[in-house]
Structure 1
Amino acid sequence: MTGHGHERALPTKHVLRALLWGGAGMLLPLPWIAMQFNSTEVNWDGFDFLVFGTMLAIACGACELAMWASRSHAYRFAAAIAVGTGFALVWINLAVGIIGSENNAENLVYAGVLAVAAIGAAFARLRPAGMARAMVVTASVHALTGVYGLAIGSIEAGVSAVVFVAAWLASAWGFHRAARVVGQD
């Protein structure tokens, strides 16, 4: 603690890593536990667990990359929002789909949203100002998917787009704050 009296010590990188990977490890068996109580609603096979485990590993790896890329709490928070948003987008599409059911090929438009985010991050070289711009572009592309969904009659696509666009923009705001701290604006 410094002499200012209003700052709190934040968890160390090691504590955050333990929480991150430990949390993922605790999430993985939850569907199996749910299957013990209700076999009709949750019915996973080995492939489902493999996909979920892979998704968790990718999300945790992306958060690790963010911890490596910056010491800024705003940057790490923005990255966590972006990773969580991407994770939720994939998870919802695999589970129930956004446009129609999970088997509807039109849901592949959301792969484009994730591609924009990933390509934007690569072009930004994970720098905060570039990441802020990449998240704004990702939000814009996601908004277009909502318009597309509404145009083909999917109210769910339009409604969910509002939530996802807000999350992508929250991430952009966090990256923008991180960029201002390091003087990248």
Structure 2
Amino acid sequence: MNERLIRRYRNWYAKPLRLYSKPYYERFGEGMKQAFTDLLRERAEEGRGLFGYALWLFIETSAGIIRENITSIVRQNKNIIYLALGTAFILLMPLIAMLFTNQVVWDLTDFIVAGTLIFGTGLAYELVARKGGTMAYRVAVGIALAAAFLLVWMNLAVGIIGSEDNPINLMYFGVVTIGILGATIARLRPRGMARTLFATALAQALVPAIALMIKKPQVTSVEASMGVLGVLGLNAFFVMMFIGSALLFRRSRIRL
């Protein structure tokens, strides 16, 4: 009777064990089932009840499953967790400044947009750069993402041509879109990425030229005295970043 009950409890005990990660289960699963069986047999030989003891082992093992899965998630996604904490820390700075100055600098939308940009850029680097087999590839990814991040951030914050309300600045989002579409088509391969970044640099250079043809742009909001030369210089900075990234992609090799 006890042996039949022990086998039944063992079958029940074996089911939650599969909630462990596959490597952990393959390594320890059978041993845990055998240990569970041996403990119940010792209990039965002592003439003591099995149900309460088996229930306690179930609860203890369930807690172990939760702990192991949390540890596994943290271990596998350590960089992503650090990225989330870093993003939260950066967002704390304007929040603290608002509390001490009693001035509303950012609203809820600003915090959401800023958090999405910071975390999204970091996550994109983590997912893309890990494919890189060379330092050149990882640096190229970092430069391209940094340029895109700054371009979007400046446009949303103050605008590059005139103010952030100037519709001409929408063309810069087209520059970023070219980069995203090109990277998707290239499947992140170095040669395709190099061509994509050269095309992105060209699109970046065309924006102020098109703006001049459409309408003489107002002075940049980065600094009023910079005027047209400031806009051209700022665009040249982004163009050089995209070209630098493209040149690094040409020198890199990865296995995808």
TM-score (norm 2): 0.59
For 2:250 and 2:84, locate their aligned partners in 1 and report how far apart those are by CA, in whole Å.
Answer: 27
Q: Which region of structure 1 is more displaced relative to structure 2, 53-62 or 90-99? A: 53-62
RMSD between superposed Cα atoms in Å = 2.4
User: Residue 111 of structure 2 corresponds to which residue in structure 1?
Assistant: 49
Q: Secondary structure in 2 aligned to 1:29?
A: helix
Q: Which residue of 2 aligns with 1:35?
A: 98
Structure 2 residue aligned with 1:149 = 211
Provide, for residues 27-78 of structure 1, a one-character-per-residue CA deviation record: whole Å limited to 9, x for no partner: 12222123234455x6111111011111112101211122332232111111
Which residue matches 1:10?
Answer: none
Measure how far apart 1:14 and its partner are: 7.9
Partner of 1:173: 247
Cα distance, 1:77–1:15 mapped onto 2, change above 3 Å: farther
- Return the alpha-carbon distance in structure 2 between the equivalents of residues 171 and 144 of structure 1: 18
**Which residue in the other structure is 1:86 paired with?**
148
Q: Alpha-carbon deviation of 1:146?
A: 2.2
What SS is found at the alignment partner of 1:126? coil
Equivalent of residue 127 in structure 1, options 173, 189, 198: 189
Tell me the secondary structure at the aligned position of residue 134 of structure 1.
Answer: helix
Of the three residues 221, 225, 236, the one matched with 1:162 is 236
Map 1:1-40 to 2 at 5 A: 20-38=83-101
Residue 170 of structure 1 deviates from its aligned partner by 1.2
- 2:98·2:105 contact (CA, 8 Å) conserved in 1? yes
Evaluate the alpha carbon distance shift between residue 150 and residue 39 of structure 1 in structure 2; reply closer, same or farther with a 3 A threshold. Answer: farther
Distance 1:38 1:100, change over 3 A: farther
Amino acid at match of 2:186: A
Q: Quick one: higher RCO (CA 8 Å, sep 6+), 1 or 2?
A: 1
Cα shift at 1:153: 2.3
Q: Structure 1: how far apart are the matches of 2:184 and 2:91?
A: 29
Contact 2:156/2:164 (<8 A) preserved: yes
Relative to structure 1, the CA distance from residue 74 to residue 48 in structure 2 (aligned partners, 3 Å threshold; closer, same or farther) is same
Could you say if the C-alpha distance between residues 48 and 68 of structure 1 is closer, same or farther in structure 2, counting changes exceeding 3 Å?
Answer: same
Q: 1:171 to 1:18 in 2, by over 3 A?
A: farther
1:68 aligns with 2:68: no
Quick check: which has more Rg, 1 or 2? Answer: 2
Say if 1:129 and 1:150 are closer, same or farther in 2 by CA, change over 3 A: same
